[in-house]
Amino acid sequence: MTDKLAVEDLTESEAQAELGRLAALLAAANRAYHTEDAPEITDAAYDALKARNAAIEARFPELKRDDSASDQVGAAPLDGFAKVAHSIRMLSLGNAFEPEDVAEFDSRIRRYLGLPDDAPLAYTAEPKIDGLSLSLRYVQGRLVQAATRGDGEVGENVTANARTITDIPESLTGAPEILEVRGEVYMSHADFAALNARQAEKSDKQFANPRNAAAGSLRQLDAKITAARPLLFFAYSWGEVSAPLAETQMGAIARLKALGFQTNPLTVLCDGVEALLEHYARIEQARATLGYDIDGVVYKVDDLGLQARLGFRSTTPRWAIAHKFPAELAWTRLEAIDIQVGRTGALSPVARLTPVTVGGVVVSNATLHNEDYIAGRDSKGEVIRGGKDIRVGDWVQVYRAGDVIPKVADVDLSKRAEGVAPYVFPATCPECGSDAVREEGDAVRRCVGGLICPAQAVEKLKHFVSRAAFDIEGLGAKQVEQFYRYGWIKEPADIFTLQERYGSGLQQLKNREGWGEKSAKNLFEAIEEKRKIPFGRLLFALGIRHVGEQASTLIARNYGTWDDFIAAMDGAKDYEGPEWERLLGIDGVGTVMARALVGAFAEPHERGSIDRLTEYLTVQEAARPRTDGSPVAGKTVVFTGSLEKMTRAEAKARAEGLGAKVAGSVSAKTDLLVAGPGAGSKAKKAQDLGIETIDEDGWLTLIGDA
Phi-psi region of 695 (alpha: psi -120 to 50; beta: other; left: phi over 0): beta
Looking at residues 538-545, what average pLDDT do you find? 91
Tell me the per-residue pLDDT of 615-663, one tens digit each, with 9 for 90 and over: 999 999 985 555 566 788 878 899 888 887 777 777 877 887 787 888 8
3-class DSSP state of 276: helix
Q: For residues 587 and 676, what is the distance between their CA atoms, to the nearest angstrom?
A: 19
Sign of CA dihedral 693, 698, 702, 703: positive
Q: For residues 572 and 583, what is the distance between their CA atoms, to the nearest angstrom?
A: 8
Buried/exposed code over 105-142 (b: 16+ C-beta within 10 A; e: otherwise): bbeebbebbebeeeeebbbbbbbbbbbbbbbbbbeebe
User: Any catalytic annotation for residue 50?
Assistant: no
Q: Which of 104-113, 435-444, 521-530 has the highest mean pLDDT?
A: 104-113
Q: For residues 573 and 579, what is the distance between their CA atoms, to the nearest angstrom?
A: 9
3-class DSSP state of 356: strand
**Around Cβ 224, how many Cβ atoms within 10 Å?**
10
State how far Cα 92 lies from the chain centre.
Answer: 9
Tell me the per-residue pLDDT of 359-386, one tens digit each, with 9 for 90 and over: 666 678 888 989 999 999 987 788 999 9
* Residue 347 CB-density burial (10 A; 0-12 exposed, 13-18 middle, 19+ buried): buried
pLDDT at 77 over 50: no
Using CA atoms in the order 9, 10, 12, 16, what is the torsion angle rounded to 10 degrees?
A: -160
* Residue 648 CB-density burial (10 A; 0-12 exposed, 13-18 middle, 19+ buried): middle
Looking at residues 458-468, what average pLDDT do you find? 89
At residue 706, the pLDDT reads 47
494 compared with 546, residue with greater pLDDT:
494
3-class DSSP state of 181: strand
| Of 50, 128, 460, 661, catalytic | 128
Tell me the per-residue pLDDT of 682-698, one tens digit each, with 9 for 90 and over: 888 999 999 999 998 88
Looking at residues 60-66, what average pLDDT do you find? 78
pLDDT at 67 over 70: no
Task: Please state, for a pLDDT cut of 70, what percent of the chain lies above it.
Answer: 90
Tell me the per-residue pLDDT of 24-42, one tens digit each, with 9 for 90 and over: 888 777 766 655 555 666 6
At residue 576, the pLDDT reads 92
Tell me the per-residue pLDDT of 559-586, one tens digit each, with 9 for 90 and over: 989 999 999 999 999 999 999 999 988 8
- DSSP-derived letter for residue 47 is H
Tell me the per-residue pLDDT of 101-136, one tens digit each, with 9 for 90 and over: 999 999 999 999 999 999 999 999 999 998 899 999
At residue 216, the pLDDT reads 84
Contact 635, 643 (CB under 8 A): no
